[in-house]
Every structure is written in structure tokens, then in C-alpha cells.
Amino acid sequence: MVRKSSIILGIMAALIFYYFAYEIIYVFPKVTSAAGTTLNIILVSAEMLTAVFSIYLYHSVFCSMEWRHINYRGLKKFPFATIQIPVFNEPVRTVKDTVKACKAQDYPKERYEIIVADDSTDTKKMKMLEKLCRKEGVKFFHRDHRRGYKAGALNDVLGHSKGEVLVLLDADDMPEKTFLSHSIEVLTSSDKIAFVQSRNAERNDGKNLVTSIGRMIRDLFFGSIMKSKDMRKLSIFCGSSGVIKRSVVEEMGGWPEQTVTEDIDISTKIFAKGYVSKFINPVECKGLLPVSFSSLTGQTYRWAHGTTKTLMLRWRNIMKIPGFWRKSEHFLSCATYVLGPSILIIDLVMAAHLLLKIPIFHMYEPVGVWVFGVGLTLSSFFALLYVQFLDEKINMKRIFAYIFAMYGLSVNFTLATISALTGRKFAFFRTPKTAQKKDYSKIAKRYWIESLVAAVSIYAGVTNLMEPAYSMQAAWVIFFGIGFLTSPLLALKYG
């Protein structure tokens, strides 16, 4: 039986095909200048790329409607598990809460151990953490180097881990008491299942607007994309709140240290070997979100850099994933952050069109066609709105903040993507989850590109808003400009 989501996917693909065919065949010829033709080619290429990801996102949303929860039956055997908590200069109180939540699991106490893998460079925090672990009866391992970053730390403690199941938690993740039993039950239900990823929620999403944006990112990812991927047994390991078979990690040669996103990196290698994964929901772990926008920017930069680097390094592995659609799904997951350059290019081309009065095809298309094109660009807005509707927690302020922030972060994604593609080494840093002291000089240095693009876009839009031939494009560029301006404004307000 054909799924409804597959039918919708086919309809959307057909509509988008006809949309671009109409534009190229009937509208393009109306632009005759060389400059206009050049801008049109660049613009339509960027819009086509955006359309591909719009289809992917909309399809994920409709797949999430068909996704079903797992019915737990209870474990009969309890394989020994090792909970690994990588730490780098974390507040000791945060780690303490995580350790206590780990010790409160409903899993037999004699069937699991807890290891803190510490890379802290802050001697005071390191000593306090060691004292905490001694008091709580937790294994403590400290490295005096940062080789391989998180992946390196996990590899180094692997030899000290007794578990046949490895459990990964971030330092701020507090697992529910059923986390181990539910995750391991699913993991051991099939030899083909390599790992199980649980839904990760947040404990501080109401702190400020930045945590609200972080909440929206997670809602869309876990509430839609991961459910869709799970239907093809391709849910990715997220580096935390997950369990993985030790034998699989060893078969992969340990945690890959070539990228700063060892989670999607090892997921890619695992899928290429024919293994599958499972995603479980409702929430099994609750962590902390960055409360400063600079921290969120740094976190998403790492995601973008590492994911793009994974695509570069593992594209051959992706080609080995069984099934054309599964291959395509994972390829799009690894290529997600090229949306950043696409959005930036669309805005800059349209701003150039307005400032230099170079004609583009959007000037000549019917209003209905223009609205359809806008719908493609706003796919994440409509997708998130629907996910929030399903969860019965619609908050329009949060949703609009998320949309504008995503436009602002597109510059961040662009810089990270370029850095990964050009082979620049990533300097790892810890993502602070608490309020940070504002450094206005650093904010100015970090967000000057977003500020400049915002100023140019808003100026181009405002000066052309009242001209009939340019008004629709002007309104759209102003919308883009506000999005780009969101980044420096949020950084100034929240650090």
C-alpha cells in the first residue's frame, strides 16, 4: 500500500517541476539583457536547491503523521551498559545533576556503570569533578590533551568501559528513569539495529528568546525529521541521549575523529555497512539549551562544519547505503547546510536587482506563481507550524523568532560550509549553556557580515517598495533583511 506521504511527495515534486519549467520556458525569455540573464541563472539555481530541501522538509512533516510509537514489553535480559559522559570545563553542578539522574535508572544497578571522560583545562573544575565522581562512586578519567576532541575522549575511555552497550550523554543531559531500559530494549530487539536515538528535550526552553529558538530547532528536528528518517530506519545518532552497541563502534574502528560531528559521521559509516537504527519518542532525556545567541551561533556553526565535512569525507559510504531512497535521504541530511549559501545568494541577487535595476524573471510572473515560490522559501515556517499544531503548543512569537533567526544564521551556515569545503581546521569550543558576559567588540566582529547584508537588503527594499514593477521583490528583500538583522540584535541583547 502506498503511503499518503509518498503520494504527497509525488504531487509536490510534480508541482515544483512545473513551476520551474514554467519560469524557464515562459518567463525567462522576457529578460533579454546579459546582466539579467546572468542574475536569473544564479537565482534560479539557488531557488532550485532550496526547492529540493523544501520537498524534503514537507515530506518529513507528512511522514511524521504516519510514524508510530514503540510499545515497550519489558526487558528479559539486561546486557551490561556503560554510561559515558564527556566533559570539558562544565559547571560541576551540571554534571552532578546528570550523574544523579543516571544513578536513578530503573535498570538493575549491578548491570551498568558510569564513566566521566574529562578533558577540562580548568584545574579547579577538574579537581572538583574528580571529587564528585569519587563521592558518587563514578569512574573518572582525565586527559591532559584534547586530541580528537569528544570523539578522542570516547575512544580513550573505550578500553576502560566494561559495557557491551555504550550509552552517551552530554554533561547537561538528565535522563528519565526509563531511559536505559527503554533504549536497550529496542537496541537488543534485532541484530541489525546498531543504535537507538531518543527524543531529547530541554529544561530551560522558557529562559529567553534564544532558548525559544533553540526549542523550535529541536521541535522541528525531533518532532518531524527524525520521525521521517526512522520510517526508513535511518535516524541519525545525535551524540547524546542514545545507546549504541559496542561491537558496532569497534567494527567502525572507534569514533571517527576527522570531523567535529562524530555522531552523524559514525552514523554514515554504520548505514553503509547495512545496519539500521531506531528513534524512540516521547522524551527520554532533557538537556540545556544555549541562553546566549553567540553560543547558539557557535553551536550551529559546529553542526554545519561537521556535517558538511562528513559529506566530503563519507560520500562513498553514502553511495553504499542500501536502497536508492535511503541513500538520497541520508545525502540530503549531510548536505542540509548548503541551504545557508542558497538563502544568502537569493537575497544578494534580489538586492542587486533592486539597486541596479537589472530585470529578473520574478518581475514578469503572475502573482499566484510568485506566491507559490515564496511558499518554497518559507517551508520551514509552515513545517514548524504544523509540527506545533500536532503537539498542541503553537506559539507564534517563537515560530516567527525562529524563522527570522534562521535567515540570520544562514550567513553562519555559509561561513561554516565554506570552511569545511576548503579544508580549514575547526577549533573546537564548548557551547556554554549559561549566560555569558557580553563582549561588544567580539559581537561587532562576529556579526558584521549579517549587519552589512541586512543594511543593504533593507535599503534596497525600502527604496523600491513603492515602485509597482519592484514592490513584491522589495517586500521580500525587506523580509530577508530583517532576518539577517536578527542575528546581531539577538547577540547584543542576549550576548
What per-residue confidence (pLDDT) applies to 457? Answer: 98
Q: What is the CATH number of the domain that holds 252?
A: 3.90.550.10
Residue 373 sits in the same domain as residue 344: yes
What are the grid coordinates assigned to 93, written together? 553542578
What per-residue confidence (pLDDT) applies to 391? Answer: 62
Residue 214 sits in the same domain as residue 357: no
Residue 101 sits in the same domain as residue 16: no
Please name the residues in contact with 441: beta carbons below 8 A apart, sequence gap of 6 or more: none
What per-residue confidence (pLDDT) applies to 120? Answer: 92
Residue 346 sits in the same domain as residue 477: yes
The answer to whether position 129 is within a domain reads no
Nearest-angstrom CA–CA distance, 413 and 304 = 6
Helical segments of 105-238, H only: 123-136, 149-158, 179-187, 209-220, 226-230
Quick one: residue 357, left, alpha or beta (phi over 0 = left, psi -120 to 50 = alpha)?
left
End residue of a domain, out of 273, 293, 321: 321
Residue 222 sits in the same domain as residue 146: yes
Q: Which residues of the chain have pLDDT under 70?
A: 1, 377, 379-381, 383-394, 428-430, 434
Parent domain of 205? 81-86+95-112+142-321
Q: Comparing C-alpha atoms, which of 14, 41, 15, 34 is closest to residue 361?
A: 41
Three-state DSSP at 111 gives helix
What per-residue confidence (pLDDT) applies to 388? Answer: 64
Residue 342 sits in the same domain as residue 481: yes
Which residue type is seen at 302?
A: R
Residue 234 sits in the same domain as residue 157: yes
Residue 469 CA, chain-centre distance (Å), reads 38
Could you give the count of Cα atoms lying within 13 Å of 443 in the half-sphere of its Cβ? 20
The residue assigned the cell 558538511 is 308
Three-state DSSP at 331 gives helix
Residue 360 sits in the same domain as residue 453: yes
Nearest-angstrom CA–CA distance, 431 and 296 = 8
What per-residue confidence (pLDDT) applies to 392? Answer: 60
Residue 342 sits in the same domain as residue 315: no
The answer to whether position 15 is within a domain reads yes
Residue 311 sits in the same domain as residue 346: no
Rounded to the nearest 5°, which phi and psi values hold at 285?
A: -145, 150
What per-residue confidence (pLDDT) applies to 380? Answer: 60
Residue 99 sits in the same domain as residue 51: no
The answer to whether position 359 is within a domain reads yes
Nearest-angstrom CA–CA distance, 492 and 485 = 11
pTM of the full predicted structure? 0.92
**Considering its fold, how many domains does the chain have in total?**
2
Task: Report whether 280 contacts 198 (CB < 8 A).
Answer: yes
Nearest-angstrom CA–CA distance, 378 and 464 = 22
Tell how strand 165-168 and strand 81-87 pair up.
Answer: parallel
What per-residue confidence (pLDDT) applies to 393? Answer: 66
The answer to whether position 332 is within a domain reads no
Task: Report whether 406 contacts 80 (CB < 8 A).
Answer: no
Q: Comparing C-alpha atoms, which of 114, 118, 115, 113 is closest to residue 87?
A: 118
Give the N- to C-terminal CA distance of the chain in Å, as an integer: 52
Q: How far is CA 438 from CA 64, 120, 174, 292, 485, in A?
A: 40, 23, 28, 9, 18
The answer to whether position 128 is within a domain reads no
End residue of a domain, out of 321, 348, 373: 321
What per-residue confidence (pLDDT) applies to 89? Answer: 92
End residue of a domain, out of 321, 348, 378: 321
The answer to whether position 157 is within a domain reads yes
Q: DSSP strand E in 217-357: where? A: 242-245, 276-287
Residue 352 sits in the same domain as residue 294: no
Sign of the torsion angle spanned by Cα atoms 205, 176, 229, 165? positive
Rounded to the nearest 5°, which phi and psi values hold at 32?
A: -110, -15
Cβ count within 10 A of residue 7: 11
